[in-house]
Chain A
Amino acid sequence: MPALLEIRGLTVEFATSRGTLRAVDHVDMDVAEGEVLGVVGESGSGKSVSMLALMGLLGSNAKLTADRLAFAGTDLLTLTPRQRRKLVGKDVAMIFQEPTTSLNPCFTVGFQIVEALKEHMGGTRKWRRDRAVELLTLVGIPDPGARLNAFPHQLSGGMNQRVMIAMAIACQPRLLIADEPTTALDVTIQAQILELLTRLQRQHNMAMVLITHDMAVVSETAQRVQVMYAGQLVETRSADELFTRPRHPYTAALLSSLPEHAERRARLATIPGLVPGIGDRPVGCLFSPRCAYATDRCRGERPALYRDPEGLARCFYPLDDSGRPEGVAA
């Protein structure tokens, strides 16, 4: 199947007062029609920035380069801003972490949904209003006709996130990017929103990129997972494979640091140290200072992404089925 989204060698750099920060470092990503891809990583791993780059939402201090950035065969790099805006918001839509701050507090939610419809779909005023009611019903908002006239501050966080989702799916996008869509919400509401997203995704055969730091959410929702670390893609494979047999030591360490995997009151497995910052990016593998298995080779040389039967891992000594690094003496 041809990829709906195809990204090759995406690099985003920010000019800061302390020098150039490479937030995204040669990232590749493919999303097929109707596929759910999970992108996980800690803060600063570049998972949000790479998606903002795709949407053209980066600030003026950002420098974007890519070998290829294509959506449904259209090269986004050569589009004019006007052409790009036709695409973004219609065929590609995004929802954000904080629903209450992503909506405009000065306008009713109805106005904000209709605005998206007007921009991309046209139609009569009556049609747009009916469609907005239909959308609010679809995302499970009770009494949708009356809620169109509500302002974001009159709705709860969960309801606002439903409004955001209604706006995002208003023009039936082929790709939905959900950036931590449930992080700011309570567990009970989180479950409702994820159920809604997966239901819509299936019904409309929409592709989805789900960015999150919550491993459990990814395991439940995504078919394939990409793990990012310090701006680089470090591992990608099917969700089932990743959670049962992680190959990259970072993925394995992340999974074992979850409280669910430890005895009650036992000390949790941790990853020592910190994600490298602007001035202390190691010469070798970016994870080598925190890796339990790092060798001199890891510290001196950057590993490429190596292909294995099930996916890709950026490691000289990927873990075998028993979780031990290959080719390193114990």
Chain B
Amino acid sequence: MTVVMEAKGVRRYYEVRKGMLAKPAVVRAVDGVSFTLEAGKTLAIVGESGCGKSSLARVLAMLEQPTDGELLIDGLPTLAQEPDRRVKLRRAVQMVFQNPYGSLNPRHTVGRILEEPLEINTDLSREARAEAARAILARVGLRPEAYGRYPHMFSGGQRQRIAIARALMLNPRVVIADEPVSALDISIQGQILNLLMDLQDELQLAYVFVSHDLGVVHHIADEVMVMYLGRPVEHGETSLLFDRPAHPYTRALLGSRPRIQTGDKTPRKTLSGELPSPLRPPPGCAFHQRCTFATELCMRDRPELRQVEGRAVACHHAETVLAAAA
């Protein structure tokens, strides 16, 4: 399989000013993320809000440059390229956003929304652009009349179809989907997930799927990366992580998700506390204050990612966690 995207120790820091004289604080929104993504595969990034998953998505979509580390698309490093080459690489990665109400220009017709990427990036004629837009509309399941209409005339699910169509206009290799179905009703969610899976099979698209909905992630992703406070804490094959999580945080996330239950209900295993402030991350393991497995070692030394039973996990006690579940 061909690797279409590779991240090597990607970091993204932001400076936060704390007054005129104070030294600006640094928020390590993304702190060392590495992965490889093959054509036709889906990598899901999960975590609570503030864990850096959306910042990572923006770096991967080349909307922001990494503070440190390297991002390779189709084997080519994005930072070292000449500006015109970089523009070409950028076409290979497209993004679908969470809110289909805010991410489409209300003053443009659907046709214009779809043709804009072609207008900027290609020298296709007006007719060829219109033809491409109409073809893609049919592909995402919208009627031809949609071409001349405005976004407000569509429902949420249909708008998300338009957003997906726009992302596909430049034949990308990778689509970054940031919570693409979380704003939609359940019955519509299924339609959009089916469309995404169909398109993936047909076009060999690679997806980076950012989501907090573990049910959806379990269904669609090949690999899952769990992030906590800017760092990956566990990364591996979906079924492995869902069946046998090795990081206490992954375990807690899975335990706290709601399930349909009847009869005698088993209460969820809830996690106490909240995500610590990224401005003042705790010393040692960032998760130790909420962790039931934490020891003195966790308060002192930050665990690095290491291989345990087929997945990468950043926990001193991964073996204990696995043994506790068995």
Contact = CB atoms under 8 A, between A and B. Distances in A.
Nearest to A219: B260
Contact of A219 (B190, B261, B272, B274): B261
A220 B261 contact: yes
Given A42-B186, A240-B263, A259 B270 contact: no
A57 interface: no
Interface string A245-284: 0000000011101111010110111110010000000000
Going nearest first, the 4 A-B pairs with the smallest beta carbon separation are A216-B258, A268-B190, A259-B219, A191-B256
B219 A262 contact: yes
Interface in A33-59: 42-43
- Interface of chain A: mostly helix, strand, loop or mixed: helix
A243 B260 contact: yes
A269 B186 CA distance: 11
A268 B262 CA distance: 22
Interface of A: 42-43, 156-159, 186-192, 194-195, 213-217, 219-220, 239-240, 243-244, 253-255, 257-260, 262, 264-265, 267-271, 274
A271 B187 CA distance: 6
B85 interface: no
A43 B193 contact: no
Contact of A259 (B156, B218, B239): B218
B181 to A, nearest CB: 10
Contact of A195 (B198, B212, B263, B268): B268
A187 B197 contact: no
Given A189-B48, A219-B258, 15 more contacts: A42-B188, A158-B274, A186-B49, A187-B253, A188-B256, A188-B270, A188-B271, A219-B259, A240-B262, A253-B187, A260-B215, A265-B197, A267-B194, A267-B197, A271-B187
B258 A220 contact: yes
B257 interface: yes
A11 to B, nearest CB: 23
A260 B197 contact: no
Nearest to B258: A216
Interface in B110-154: none
B27 to A, nearest CB: 16
A187 B256 contact: yes
B258 A254 contact: no
B299 interface: no
B72 interface: no
A239 B218 contact: no
A188 B252 contact: yes
Contacts of A257: 186-187, 189-190
